[in-house]
Chains A and B, each alone.
Chain A
Amino acid sequence: MSAASGYYIPHEAKWPIVGSVGLFLFFMGFGRLLNGQALGTTTLLIGLAIIVVMMFGWFSLVVKESESGIYNSQVDVSFRMSMMWFIFSEVMFFGAFFGALFYARQFSGPWLSGDGGGGAAMTNAVLWNGFDYTWPNNGPDKIGAGFASNQSFSAMGWFGLPLINTLLLLTSGVTCTIAHHAIKDGNHKKMVRWLAATVALGTVFVFCQAFEYYEAYAHLNLKMTTGIYGSTFFMLTGFHGFHVTMGAVMLFFVMLRGMKKHFTAENHFAFEAAAWYWHFVDVVWLGLFIFVYLI
């Protein structure tokens, strides 16, 4: 915080406005796509392309500045704090979906089948007569499965792919930590090697998850539209899978920078930020494994 080292303030920011235009087109396009209006997909893709260009441009600029050594330790601390608070905001985002899962399982499900006093028994008798709540559930109208076609759906078991995925992610947490120790020793080669392993594990995870979705749709009759179970299952695992993908991309770029020997034993914030993020998706997965798959 010493003033002697001088504060650092970047003087111009050209990328943010590009990012805003990109996001604007992305959202407008997505909205039009959802409504089946003309040019939705095109607008969405243009927006997405602009966002990708913006990310490349902005991050390259920051990397270049960082490599030229103009950042001081105060900037470094600002970056660290921002990343931590950003991860905290992500935790809260997942919290909303976990909250929905708990609420549906603990409260609204039993109420629908008449438990819990108040008017619940009456509601059940009048509106959903005969509905008996058990988890997994897709509601009294058996939304998404069984209602029209009289089929039923199966829940996703924890054994098999989900367990393998758990092991994959836990292992990747370990390899990531080994890579961190490597860079702390200034060993770029070792860091890159273990990071490659981490990215590989992450990628395999995403592929397993995709295969699991295929299984769900093809064989279990379990879809996003399968009532509250399908909703919570696909939204939680889907957002998590998206975050794993993002984390893997981050680690991949950190690896590329490692190959260019960008880091030092003391100064490797980009690595740490990506690693924190990786551990965060790891922990979220454990929550998913326990609350979505196991119990």
Chain B
Amino acid sequence: MSGYGAHADHDEHDHHGPAPGLKRWLYTTNHKDIGTLYLWFSLSMFFIGGAMALIIRAELFSPGIQIVDPMFFNSMTTMHAIVMIFGLVMPAFVGLANWMIPMMIGAPDMALPRLNNWSFWIMPFAFTILLSTLFMDSGGPAGGWTLYPPLTLQMGDSFAFVIFAIHFMGISSVMGSINIVATIFNMRAPGMTLMKMPLFVWTWLITAFLLIATIPVFAGAVTMLLTDRYFGTSFFSAAGGGDPVMFQHIFWFFGHPEVYILILPAFGIISSIIPTFARKPLFGYDSMVYATASIAFLSFIVWAHHMFTTGMPLAAELFFMFSTMMISVPTGVKVFNWVATMWKGSMTFETPMLFAIGFVIMFTIGGLSGLMLAITPADIQYHDTYFVVAHFHYVLVPGAVYSLLAATYYWIPKWTGNMYDEKLGKIHFWTSTVFVNVLFFPMHFVGLAGMPRRIPDYSLQFADWNAIASIGAFGFGFSQLIFLWVVIKCIRGGKKATDEVWEGSVGLEWTVPSPAPYHTFEEAPPVAVINKNHF
């Protein structure tokens, strides 16, 4: 089976291997190199954004202003969100897409390798601009990641740089997504029909579509902010006939699809991992594809559920309530399918599977609190409280971030050729899972009791749960150092991985040697191999 994999190995003589030194990374057009760059970049952002979160939680450990000044606190909440969303989760998924999609569809590389290099090399520059605002006299952005005017327009000099950093990242996202769409449509090996593609490829195809459709809208929205601030336009000023609420509509037209951008590739990852360790084909492959597509479609017509309290005609409140609740249906289909895949499977619980199961359970908790928030009259109570913070952290941390951790454990043997340290992996999972719940579950309680989000101080009755959440935060944060250690250790050595790596693994990526050679599938895999390696 690894016949042509070995072939790719031998082919390397006629082709450039990696260039020596720094040049390799600066000029590379290799999807694996670029994937690696993305993954390291996002891991570093994970720790930078995490440090910001710990500053927030340290301040909130007890009531009163203890450690940081309120303005800096606000810029921490704002920056933490931007760094985690645009610096961690999105680039990490792009990194995985780079590594895995060509190998999963039997392609030699991405469709546009040079553009691929550019998509990555924008990121460090864009984040230099963004993070540099923290060192400006005016301080970093402090009006929240949602950048609502008029508050955001009152930011100091850093305003312009934040907007341009967003434009800059947007260029990267759109180019990266175009590349992914072109790769999936144009680079599949003969015989790899759309409905044979692994779900990670499917979910990324749909995610890329969402990105291409909504990032430009976000770019438009922040451009309007920029001209309102510096060129005297009145888009968001009622005095000039505009409307600050209009910003919220445009922003969330991007913003809600964006949260699906942050979760659809995670669905794809989980749909790859669970069948492997349940040793059963994925239950309901077709319905998974259709559910993903309907989630993507619905995500365009639910945006104003973020604005129930902002003010809208009654008909709009109702429309957005029902459309939002409708999203739970395809989401429920997915959760059902994962559970059904595990049903009567001969399961083993290696670290990737632990994280995947953790994902299914805790993402569902976040989905259910989302459903509560979707109910307009209820949301009027919950909005802008810690309940919302609990909701989106459940879908994003034990959701999106767990999928990233699961993916790393699942594929790192393929990347490095070595098995990771299973014992450390399990310790990482259990400490993370205990602490993440200590961290976020109490937020439901203080939120329902009325504690507002994005504030450095709070009323005394919230003190106990906040102290507990802060302990969870530090526990969770330091648990991630175990992850860093596992990754480094695995790169440096360990038990050699087989080509299949996992007993029940299905997919073309497991037919090439471990570690995957610098170039794979320079010749398309035979159709028979494709037919044998899909669900």
Q: A12-B29, A78-B182, A78-B187 are in contact. List 17 more A-B contacts (CB 8 A).
A: A12-B27, A13-B28, A13-B29, A27-B161, A28-B161, A34-B226, A81-B182, A82-B111, A85-B178, A88-B213, A89-B212, A93-B217, A93-B219, A97-B220, A103-B246, A108-B245, A228-B235
Which residues of A have CB within 8 Å of B385?
none
With A31-B161, A139-B240, A143-B241 known to touch, is A17 a contact of B112 (CB < 8 Å)?
Answer: no
A-B contact pairs, 6 of them (CB 8 A): A31-B129, A31-B157, A89-B215, A108-B238, A143-B234, A235-B227
The 4 closest A-B pairs by CB, nearest first: A96-B220, A139-B241, A16-B118, A108-B243
Which residues of A have CB within 8 Å of B237?
139, 143
With A12-B19, A13-B117, A224-B232 known to touch, is A231 a contact of B161 (CB < 8 Å)?
Answer: no
Binds B, one of A18-26, A187-195, A262-270, A276-284: A18-26
The answer on a CB contact under 8 Å between B114 and A230 is no
With A224-B231, A227-B234 known to touch, is A96 a contact of B179 (CB < 8 Å)?
Answer: no
With A78-B186, A95-B217, A117-B313 known to touch, is A141 a contact of B240 (CB < 8 Å)?
Answer: yes
The answer on a CB contact under 8 Å between A96 and B160 is no
The answer on a CB contact under 8 Å between B242 and A104 is yes
The answer on a CB contact under 8 Å between B182 and A85 is yes
Inter-chain CB contacts under 8 Å: number: 241
- CB nearest neighbor in A for B246: A103
With A9-B29, A82-B111 known to touch, is A20 a contact of B118 (CB < 8 Å)?
Answer: yes
The answer on a CB contact under 8 Å between B121 and A16 is yes
The answer on a CB contact under 8 Å between B227 and A139 is no
The answer on a CB contact under 8 Å between A11 and B240 is no
Q: Is A165 an interface residue (CB 8 A)?
A: no
Among A11, A95, A225, the most chain B Cβ lie within 10 Å of the Cβ of A11
Tell me which of A7, A85, A95, A141 contacts B181 (CB under 8 A). A85
The answer on a CB contact under 8 Å between A230 and B239 is no
Which residues of A have CB within 8 Å of B109?
7, 9
Q: Is B290 an interface residue (CB 8 A)?
A: no
Bound form: Cα–Cα A232–B234 in Å: 9
Query: Which size class do B's interface residues fall under?
Result: 35 or more
Q: Is A186 an interface residue (CB 8 A)?
A: no
Binds A, one of B163-171, B328-336, B403-411: B163-171
Q: Is B190 an interface residue (CB 8 A)?
A: yes
Bound form: Cα–Cα A108–B244 in Å: 10
The answer on a CB contact under 8 Å between A82 and B112 is yes
Q: Is B508 an interface residue (CB 8 A)?
A: no
Which residues of B have CB within 8 Å of A103?
243, 246, 249
The answer on a CB contact under 8 Å between A96 and B246 is no
Q: Tell me the interface secondary structure of chain A in the complex.
A: helix
Which residues of B have CB within 8 Å of A108?
238, 241-243, 245-246
Contact with A along B122-157 (1 / 0, CB 8 A): 101100110000000000000000000000000001
Which residues of B have CB within 8 Å of A150?
none
Which residues of B have CB within 8 Å of A160?
none
The answer on a CB contact under 8 Å between A82 and B178 is yes
Q: State which residues 230-260 of A face B: CB under 8 Å.
A: 230-232, 234-235
Bound form: Cα–Cα A86–B215 in Å: 12
The answer on a CB contact under 8 Å between A1 and B186 is yes
Q: State which residues 203-230 of B face A: CB under 8 Å.
A: 212-217, 219-221, 223-224, 226-228, 230
The answer on a CB contact under 8 Å between B234 and A20 is no
Q: Is B422 an interface residue (CB 8 A)?
A: no
